[in-house]
Amino acid sequence: MPRYSIAVDIGASSGRLILGYLEDGLLKLEEIHRFENKIVKKGDSFCWEADKLFQEIKNGLKKCVELGIQPDSIGIDTWAVDFLLLDENNQPLTEAVSYRDPRTDGMMEEVFELFSKERLYLETGIQFQKFNTIYQLFSIKKNNPEILEKAKSFLMIPDYFNYLLTGKKANEYTNATSTQLVNAFTKHWDVQILDVLGINKEMFQEIKTPKTILGTLSKELVSELGFDLQVILPATHDTGSAVIAVPEEDESIYISSGTWSLIGVENYFPICVTKALDYNFTNEGGIDYQYRFLKNIMGLWMIQEVKRNYNDEYSFAQLVDLAREARDYKAIVNVNDDRFLKPENMIDAIMNYCIETQQQVPNTPGEVAKCVFDSLAVSYQEAVSEIEEIFEKKFTKINVIGGGCQNEMLNQLIADVTNKEVFAGPVEATAIGNIAAQLMALGEINDIKEARSIIKDSFEVKKYLPAQQVIS
Ligand code: LFR
């Protein structure tokens, strides 16, 4: 009998429960449940609906029962940086505010007055994004200090769901590093930073690494669901899980392509040199204490918002086709400009950028989409050059993983613009990486090397050559 693991993978626009198991040496996946996720306005803040998401996790587990599946384990991953603070009765003190909320505007600069930018980078190795947890906490300290005073537990979003499942509190390592509060070398909470910023250290939990078996379901849940299972920590940061599923690790750069595009390489030590700081690369913690040396690029969020701002009149596939037809249109925006993080209207933001930079303004959905895809590709190329400069070597391949790797036009564009071979797949990288960590914890897979070789044999990867046609 194979061991059945459930990956709960929640992204910015949807969440899924995916069943994974080994059969004849190959990893098999089956989607059990899918649900919507979105940012909603609650009062003045942009928030996630954490309790609704947890209800969906339970709905998915109930579906397993209906399908006659008895999973052995479950592992949860989501986006990074966001968190909940619990009071002494373990109740959330606030909504789960989204990192796209403007509460962190200006906070980075205020933190730098207390703790220099260079020192922060040297200690944590984490890139400067205004939405990092450190700036979110600092904004609470400044504007709602009473909340921090009452806070007894700091749990990141997957940690919170794990607590609701098991009653056990822990901060998972890969996600904890995204806070910019974990020391890149000791791999523990950086007490110095917390002290200087005046943030209560006691609320942080013990950091536990991927593959830890956190526990089993609480008694209440066992009686509600009718079965028990093991709750295992995968890399709870979705990008950490996705990168486990990169099939071509040698000499290759990966792009984890979804709402964000995360472009970088895997590494065995953090790189905190001045150039990495200047180019704003991060050293996020990975499984087995590997580091993801990467850069955040605004990603498909831009096209998701464009689609929404056209009132969903066009599907993603249609926008790609229209972009292809707009072949003579050319304008490039800096996708990492803060204005694209949460504009009121993405189309207007792109148009205004073109006006300000005296470029031809996109006037049709095809032109807007072409501008987004071209601009993403140019930004990938810049990041590739920066990586090659820092590593003082040329990489030959790019692995595009995650949902965004289904965009054939963008894959070809990446190959053409970077002049490198592009390998697209696996599409389900995050769920695969999540399940691989669980199967390693259960002893079904020995180590990451074996996991990668199974993944390579199990899932389709398409190859694109620069300026040539697709070959499979
Ligand atoms: C991708 C991701 C990125 C992180 C961003 C915000 O889903 O997790 O890695 O920088 O979301 O949390």
**237 Cα nearest atom in ligand 1:** 8
Beta bridge partners of residue 254, listed in sequence order: 264, 399
Is the Cβ–Cβ distance between 131 and 98 less than 8 Å? no
Q: What percent of the chain has pLDDT over 70?
A: 99
138 C-beta closer than 6 A to ligand 1: no
User: Binding site annotation covers 34?
Assistant: no
d(CA 47, CA 53): 12
- The predicted-structure confidence for 194-212, as pLDDT tens digits, reads as follows 999 999 999 999 999 999 9
How many CB atoms sit inside 10 A of residue 44's CB? 8
Same-fold call for 5-232 versus 238-472? yes
What's the pTM value of the predicted model, to 2 decimals? 0.97
257 C-beta closer than 6 A to ligand 1: no
| Token output for 66 | 């209906």
The predicted model gives 138-166 an average pLDDT of 98
Point out the catalytic residue in the list 77, 101, 238, 374.
Answer: 238
**Residue 468: what pLDDT?**
53
4 C-beta closer than 6 A to ligand 1: no
Please give the CATH topology (third level) of the domain spanning 238-472: Nucleotidyltransferase; domain 5 (3.30.420)
The CATH architecture annotation of domain 5-232 reads: 2-Layer Sandwich (3.30)
- The predicted-structure confidence for 71-99, as pLDDT tens digits, reads as follows 999 999 999 999 999 999 999 999 999 99
99 C-beta closer than 6 A to ligand 1: yes
Domain boundaries, the chain: 5-232, 238-472
- The predicted-structure confidence for 296-324, as pLDDT tens digits, reads as follows 999 999 999 999 999 999 999 999 999 99
| Token output for 462 | 């398409």
Dihedral Cα 281, 284, 286, 289, nearest 10 deg: 100
**175 Cα–ligand 1 center, Å:** 10
**82 Cα nearest atom in ligand 1:** 12
239 C-beta closer than 6 A to ligand 1: yes
- The predicted-structure confidence for 12-70, as pLDDT tens digits, reads as follows 999 999 999 999 999 999 999 999 999 999 999 999 999 999 999 999 999 999 999 99
Report helix, strand or coil for 53.
helix
- The answer to whether residue 238 is catalytic is yes
User: Binding site annotation covers 357?
Assistant: no
**Residue 1: what pLDDT?**
83
